[in-house]
Amino acid sequence: MRVIAFVGLPLSGKTTASKVAEEMGIPVVCMGDVVREEAKKRNLPLTDEVLGKIANELREKEGMDAIAKRCIPLIREKGKDVGVVVVDGIRGIAEVEAFKKAFDDFILIAVEAPLEVRFQRALKRKRSDDVKNIEELKERDRRELSWNLAKALEIADFTIENTSSLDEFREKVRDLLEQLAKKVEVEIETKVNPTEDVDKVVQAVKNLFPDADITIEGDTLRAKAWDLRKFRDLLRRQRILDTARTELLKGKSNNETTVFLNKQTAYIGKVNFTDEDAILSPIRVTFKLYGIPFGKFLDYLAPPTKAGKPIREVDRLI
């Protein structure tokens, strides 16, 4: 399993980066949530002071990697089907070491932004535990650096600067995660004909790819999705693995493949392969592979069968 972690000073943009991962269908484990959970269990308010105290206490009692250790089973659980997990909130080198020991494929990404920029963001965000003045932020920086955050930042495999716009930052994160998550991006396109109900076409796409991020421009629906599980499951339930395999091979070009699906059957939650020039325009689906061999992708979605049953199952892409 590949574990990707973001590390950075307070307000550098770690949570924003994790949200991008989530939108891409990558499960996220938030280390701060482990501390927040502990505060809730003790009926304490979720202020910076309380959370800081609890984090310190856990580290004193159980070691500097206490929070990381509590996250390891959560990471295993969340990543078991997907093969990749993002961890948000590493605060020290001991935590990096704990994760490296637990996961042999561990990648650390530093998120960096100067103090003043981060302070301006705190003023805008106003979370209950956010700093009220720049001195408080300096104090938080000091506290976190005392946990050897500096060392973790130093040994990071990648660094993303978060000094410009939110959109630019999100784009940088997405680009890097696309490379690292070794996943498949699904590009979907179809025409919404004048006789068709837009909502129904949207539903048809969502039935096959529930995480599809849909935009409609004029008469064209376009979407991006990452989660292949529903589509994969439908191929099995409908027992159309051989057809699917043939179609996926037919549409292959370099590291992507395109298939055409019937819109009407998609609307009732079924996969039905069709031709590019089918009436009422089909749903064009392109699977773009990042770092995954085509054969593995093919075996994951539609393995070869014998007497209608898969010869072997590839349960994960990574």
Ligand X SMILES: Nc1ncnc2c1ncn2[C@@H]1O[C@H](COP(=O)(O)OP(=O)(O)OP(=O)(O)O)[C@@H](O)[C@H]1O
Interaction mask 79-118, ligand X, x per CB under 6 A: ----------------------------------------
Residue 218 falls in which region: left (phi positive, over 0), alpha (psi -120 to 50) or beta: left
Of 10 and 25, CB closest to ligand X: 10
Q: Footprint of ligand X on residues 149-208 (CB under 6 A)? A: 162, 165-166, 169
- Residue with Cβ nearer ligand X (8 or 25): 8
At closest approach, how far in Å is the CB of 86 from ligand X?
Answer: 12
Minimum Å distance from CB 124 to ligand X? 6
Dist. CA 242–CA 239, nearest whole Å? 8
Dist CA 292 CA 211 (whole Å):
21
Residue 70 Cβ, how far from ligand X at the closest point, in Å? Answer: 18
Which among 153, 108, 116 is positioned nearest to 133, based on CA atoms?
A: 116
Binding-site residue set for ATP: 8-15
Mapped onto helix, strand or coil, the DSSP state of residue 134 is: helix
**Can residue 14 be called a binding residue for ligand X (CB under 6 A)?**
yes
* Integer-rounded Cα radius of gyration of the chain: 23
> Judged by CB, which is closer to ligand X: 165, or 254?
165
> Tokens in use for 135?
């001195």
| Closer residue to ligand X (CB): 78 or 121 | 121
Nearer to ligand X by Cβ, of 1 and 149: the residue is: 149
Note the helical H segments in 103-228. 115-125, 134-146, 149-154, 166-180, 198-208
* Residue 142 is a binding residue for ligand X (CB under 6 A): no
Q: For residue 228, give the DSSP letter.
A: -
- Minimal distance, residue 60 CB to ligand X, in Å: 21
Report the residue count for the chain: 318
Residue 84 near residue 183, CB atoms below 8 Å: yes
Contacts of 279 (CB under 8 A, 6+ apart): none
CB nearer ligand X, residue 33 or residue 185: 33
Residue span 15-44 as binding mask against ligand X, x where in contact by CB under 6 A, dash where not: xx----------------------------
CB-based burial of residue 127 (10 Å sphere; 0-12 exposed, 13-18 middle, 19+ buried)? exposed
Choices 7-15, 72-80, 94-102, 278-286 (CB under 6 A): range interacting with ligand X: 7-15
d(CA 166, CA 117): 12
Q: In whole angstroms, what is the distance from residue 176 CA to residue 187 CA?
A: 18
**Binding-site residue total for ligand X (CB under 6 A)?**
15
Binding site listing: 8-15
12 contacts ligand X (rule: CB under 6 A): yes
Cβ neighbours of residue 52 closer than 8 Å, sequence gap 6 or more: 140, 143
**Per-residue string for binding with ligand X, 111-130, x by CB under 6 A?**
----------x--xx-----
The reply on whether position 253 binds ligand X by CB under 6 A is no
| Site residues, ligand X (CB under 6 A) | 8, 10-16, 121, 124-125, 162, 165-166, 169
